[in-house]
Structure 1
Amino acid sequence: MRTLYLVICLSLFAADCFAANNKMASGTVYCDTNRNNLRDKGEKGIPDVRISNGKDIVSTDKQGRYQITVDDETLIFIIKPKNWMTPVNEFQLPQFYYIHKPKGSPAKFEFPGSAPTGPLPASVDFPLYPVKEPTRFKVAVFGDTQISSEKGINSYARELEELVGKLDVAFGISLGDNTGNWLLMFDVSNRITSTLGKPWYNVQGNHDLNLDAENEKYSNETFERVYGPAYYAFDYGDVHFIVLDTVLTMRWKEDDKYLGYRGGLESDQIAFVRNDLAYLPKGKLVVLTMHIPLDYRAYDKENLKAFFNEISDRENIIALAGHNHILENSFLDANSLWPVFKPLHTMIVGAVCGSWWEGSLNEENIALGTMGCGAPNGYGIFQFDGNKYTMKYHAFDFPEDYQMRIWTPGKIFANQSAQTNIYVNFFAGSRKDTVEMKFGERGQWTKMKWCPDVDPFIKERNEIEKAAKGDTSVTIYDANQYYFSQHIWSALLPANPPAGIHVVYVRATDRYGQVFDGKRIIRVE
């Protein structure tokens, strides 16, 4: 009897604590006919729109109303449905959330978080306006812009100039590390990106954190103030996008001044993904966007397994990441902890800043920071059509059809030709692609061998950088020259070609059926 009484008391105490720390937020999702971000008379509620508190998900009723549990550190956000759009602010950042932090963020941070929001409003409403979203559309995907200096600001602005008024996409996504730990740079980064005139979603990276936070719970405060929740979801056309926060922070040692990090997803986020996917048909294409790639070497294995178990039954899924400053396609299988037979396609999409805006400057004062994989800095354009997708890489400062770099020695001796390799770096290539070459216009197409290796261009560039400095000091390419690029192909040149000038033709066919070509003029003696 005493045991029963104790259980009842503990249950009542727990309920009281829950009630003290949790409230019910309510509001309406409505059609903002005049787009003034206010619910005016006659603007009707929208049914069947999903709302989340970062874990639970509810749907609006026939009048567009909802109720959801919140505590005093909750971001309430809408999961944008197909053929509807949220407002954007002056920086083209989608406004799909409400921050409920009555006491605000901790005040001691070097970079400010949210100001106190006061009591929970009687109604937290979300405006949407109708748009016609095509089933076939393009998305620009930026990897690490990593602005942390005047050099980075100027280089990023110069690179985007070529895209202003010309970027033909529905919206853009940046995959984290908008800054290099100096979070005040969010402002200038957003201002530059907004010149493209497209709605722009953002992922949190490890250099976008409040590293002076007490723990993981408060490491997102500045990011949340600027961009909203660190993880969320939305629909566009027939595709469902989930933005993930794959940066878990911790102190490696108790006396560490700043937080460290590793790859991972905290439990509420995994629950959010589970609840979100429960609303979707199995065949719907799901695009996961994140900063740290889903690599078991960077994650706690049990944490990654738990996440994989939530997504592995999807029939159509792709994961896009940044962080590593390379281009790389992987197809995860059991060796990578992926639990089902059909591999998971993951892609690291490169870095806008290349190798951290390092390297010699070109005539426009932009750093030539070629990435460790040998690809130039750039961004990806993904085209979606129903549950299908294709991807094309766009290198800054090069023509749109520049998809590969071909490397041979500057001069080739005819009697050594058969022992001389030609190397092709097909920037967005993978082991599932085919690369061929032919020697001269009348030559026969020969299939090249996929052979992950250090791009010889990186070694060559390293020597150029050292010579330009006039010494043997360390350059950005010293580290890069040890990276085995996963998109290198090679083949031997034909034996005993005639002396003179010749053209080597290269043809690359990717896994989507897209065909790209390149040429290299060589001199034979």
Structure 2
Amino acid sequence: MTLNRRKFLKNLGVTGSLLTLPSAMLNAKPLFRRGNIDLSNITLKGKVHNKGKGIPGVQVTDGINIVLTDKNGQYELQSNATAEFVYISVPAGYAFPEEKGIATFFRPITKDSSSFKNDFSLEKLAVDDRKHSFVVWADPQMKSKKDVELLMSESVPDLQAVVKSYPKDALIHGIGCGDLVWDEFELFADYKQAVALSGIPFFNVIGNHDMDIEARADEGSSNTFKKQFGPTYYSYNRGEIHYIVLDDVFFVGAAKSYIGYITENQLQWLEQDLAMVKPGSTIVLSLHIPTFTGAQRRAGKPEEIGGGTVANRKQLYKMLAPYKVHIMSGHTHFNDNWEEGNIMEHNHGTVCGAWWTGPICGDGTPGGYGVYDVDGSDIKWHYKSTGMPKEKQLRVYPKGKVQESPDEISANVWNWDNKWKVEWYEDGVLKGQMERRVAYDPWAVELYLGPQLPKKHKFVEPTLTDHMFFAKPSPDAKKITVKATDRFGNVYEESL
């Protein structure tokens, strides 16, 4: 780790040298008393333990450098007063520390002396954590108490039922994938209450609507979020999976202006974090803005750098090349899966659907969330539509429902990826695979198209999707059945 740390400081150039300036210089009188950056040294130290017994090899970080605990579980990390938290990467085999459902793997650093001591107490799991599950709640995004009521009356009971469907000692955790609220920070308390009611610990991601939009630069935009949920980038482990959370919402200093971008500070930290992960391991990486989607292609537009995807994603992909990676994202209010080489990205439909205006997102995906079951390094998943059984994975429309295709039936298979198979039967006879085309979901068109719809938020519009399927039945067909088979061999059917 010392080598990594030296390399990190060297790479940091001038800033790196500031981190290790002699104390005489650090105590020199600043030119301006207001707003000067305090770079005084702080030694972070303590012990990571289980009932007093030290746990060796646990990653401890200040968000800049990472050290490992020694054989007695002790750590010591030279830091400076710009660091806000000392935190750990919870090791496999231990329960996630939590407070009313919010993961608490961190401590804010108090800066009233040159050292800060904090011990982390961890509880050993009674069951093998190589089998576990997690859910991804993207964009609860409440703007009002009415939105909160919908979250509490619809989403919370749905998640409670999912949790209850697993055996009593099953290990399940949640990932709040950003836009936990919609700029109304007093509603963080309601989000926290929803999480507490779910009965599982949640790790949280910052979204563009969780940022302080009065900040003058990106560095200050996460102040409120940090007070509520701790660091905006970190990692943890469960079983054979290494989990990472990053902050990819870069605030550009004007209200509601941001781009998808991962800062160099995070990438330097991530480099050290990944140095501890064996090549070939499975990584689950969560962030708010998707690293990439098919939205620009579907709209017939060239790729652009902006708020829709991560501008420096290719640098991130290079770092992730030695691993098998699942990326979890939200932000778009549509469902989109893509896979290339070692990476698959799951861009989730939202908990709030189309901003709590109707039961579906702009691409026809029902409001809901992802459910992931882990066995060793293998992950299986499905999309759980709020208020519907898990077997509900498609919606079939009669002929002419899509105006541009008057002679065809259509089907929306919202969690489709390129390993699904979508077939159709006419009066019990298999007619082959349906044709996949970029199109609008007809129900989304009905609910959201036009400047007057929906009443609650008139900016909502239907969005083009890759998961609409078409077939042309004969004029005298009596029954049409669509059969969708996912990559795990699960079969879902709907008939007209």
Cα 1:79/1:13, change in 2 over 3 Å: closer
Identity between Structure 1 and Structure 2 (%) = 26
The aligned counterpart of 1:320 is: 328
The aligned counterpart of 2:119 is: 125
The aligned counterpart of 2:160 is: 164
The aligned counterpart of 1:196 is: 198
- Write the distance in 1 (CA, Å) between the matches of 2:337 and 2:102: 29
Cα 1:244/1:25, change in 2 over 3 Å: same
The aligned counterpart of 1:142 is: 137
1:487 match: secondary structure: strand
Confirm or deny: 8 A CA contact 2:42 2:116 kept in the other structure.
no
Deviation digits for residues 337-371 of structure 1 (CA, Å, limit 9, x no counterpart): xxxxx25211111100001111xxxxxxxxx2411
Deviation digits for residues 254-306 of structure 1 (CA, Å, limit 9, x no counterpart): xx4x3621101111111111111111111110011010010374459873333
1:195 match: secondary structure: helix
The aligned counterpart of 1:497 is: 476
Of stretches 371-380 and 290-299 in structure 1, the one that deviates more from structure 2 is: 290-299
CA RMSD of aligned residues (A): 2.7
Cα 1:243/1:461, change in 2 over 3 Å: same
Aligned length: 445
- Write the distance in 1 (CA, Å) between the matches of 2:102 and 2:368: 21
The aligned counterpart of 1:447 is: 433
The reply on whether 1:46 has 2:22 as its aligned counterpart is: no
Cα 1:216/1:207, change in 2 over 3 Å: same
Aligned pairs for 1:2-13 within 5 A: none
- Offset at residue 395 of structure 1 (A): 0.7
Confirm or deny: 8 A CA contact 2:41 2:114 kept in the other structure.
no
Confirm or deny: 8 A CA contact 1:451 1:489 kept in the other structure.
yes
The aligned counterpart of 1:274 is: 271
Deviation digits for residues 469-517 of structure 1 (CA, Å, limit 9, x no counterpart): xxx8232797665521121111111x2326xxx3321111122333222
- Offset at residue 429 of structure 1 (A): 0.5
- Structure 1: which amino acid aligns with 2:494? G
Cα 1:264/1:18, change in 2 over 3 Å: farther
Matching residue within 449, 452, 464 for 1:473: 452
The aligned counterpart of 2:10 is: none
TM-score, normalization by structure 1: 0.79
The aligned counterpart of 1:83 is: 93
The aligned counterpart of 2:489 is: 513
- Write the distance in 2 (CA, Å) between the matches of 1:57 and 1:27: 14
TM-score, normalization by structure 2: 0.83
Cα 1:301/1:321, change in 2 over 3 Å: closer
The aligned counterpart of 1:437 is: 424
1:506 match: secondary structure: strand
Q: Which has the larger radius of gyration?
A: 1
The aligned counterpart of 2:382 is: 392
- Write the distance in 2 (CA, Å) between the matches of 1:486 and 1:329: 9
The reply on whether 1:330 has 2:338 as its aligned counterpart is: yes
1:308 match: secondary structure: helix
- Structure 1: which amino acid aligns with 2:411? V
- Structure 1: which amino acid aligns with 2:141? Q
Confirm or deny: 8 A CA contact 1:431 1:450 kept in the other structure.
no
Confirm or deny: 8 A CA contact 2:106 2:230 kept in the other structure.
yes
- Offset at residue 101 of structure 1 (A): 5.0
- Structure 2: which amino acid aligns with 1:422? I
- Offset at residue 443 of structure 1 (A): 1.4
Confirm or deny: 8 A CA contact 1:87 1:94 kept in the other structure.
yes
Cα 1:434/1:481, change in 2 over 3 Å: farther
Cα 1:166/1:311, change in 2 over 3 Å: closer
- Offset at residue 430 of structure 1 (A): 2.0
- Write the distance in 2 (CA, Å) between the matches of 1:25 and 1:221: 22
2:160 match: secondary structure: coil
Of stretches 230-239 and 18-27 in structure 1, the one that deviates more from structure 2 is: 18-27
Runs of at least 5 residues in structure 1 that lack an aligned partner in the other structure? 1-6, 34-42, 103-117, 333-341, 359-367, 412-417, 467-471, 521-525
Confirm or deny: 8 A CA contact 1:437 1:447 kept in the other structure.
yes
Cα 1:282/1:199, change in 2 over 3 Å: same
- Write the distance in 2 (CA, Å) between the matches of 1:183 and 1:491: 47
- Write the distance in 2 (CA, Å) between the matches of 1:214 and 1:478: 30
- Write the distance in 1 (CA, Å) between the matches of 2:26 and 2:280: 38
- Write the distance in 2 (CA, Å) between the matches of 1:515 and 1:222: 45
Deviation digits for residues 380-438 of structure 1 (CA, Å, limit 9, x no counterpart): 10111222212101111222211101011489xxxxxx972111111100233210010
Confirm or deny: 8 A CA contact 1:165 1:197 kept in the other structure.
no
- Write the distance in 2 (CA, Å) between the matches of 1:478 and 1:373: 16
The reply on whether 1:26 has 2:45 as its aligned counterpart is: yes
The aligned counterpart of 2:260 is: 263
- Structure 1: which amino acid aligns with 2:396? I
Aligned pairs for 1:351-390 within 5 A: 351-358=350-357, 368-390=358-380
- Write the distance in 1 (CA, Å) between the matches of 2:143 and 2:444: 25
The reply on whether 1:487 has 2:467 as its aligned counterpart is: yes
The reply on whether 1:155 has 2:150 as its aligned counterpart is: yes
The aligned counterpart of 1:114 is: none
Deviation digits for residues 158-205 of structure 1 (CA, Å, limit 9, x no counterpart): 111233354136111110001101111111111022111111111110
The aligned counterpart of 2:316 is: 307
Confirm or deny: 8 A CA contact 1:451 1:490 kept in the other structure.
yes
- Write the distance in 1 (CA, Å) between the matches of 2:338 and 2:205: 21
Confirm or deny: 8 A CA contact 1:213 1:259 kept in the other structure.
no
The aligned counterpart of 1:99 is: 108
Matching residue within 405, 422, 443 for 1:457: 443
- Write the distance in 2 (CA, Å) between the matches of 1:436 and 1:243: 38
- Write the distance in 1 (CA, Å) between the matches of 2:160 and 2:285: 27
Cα 1:23/1:436, change in 2 over 3 Å: same
The aligned counterpart of 2:398 is: 408
- Write the distance in 2 (CA, Å) between the matches of 1:70 and 1:283: 32
- Write the distance in 2 (CA, Å) between the matches of 1:482 and 1:225: 36
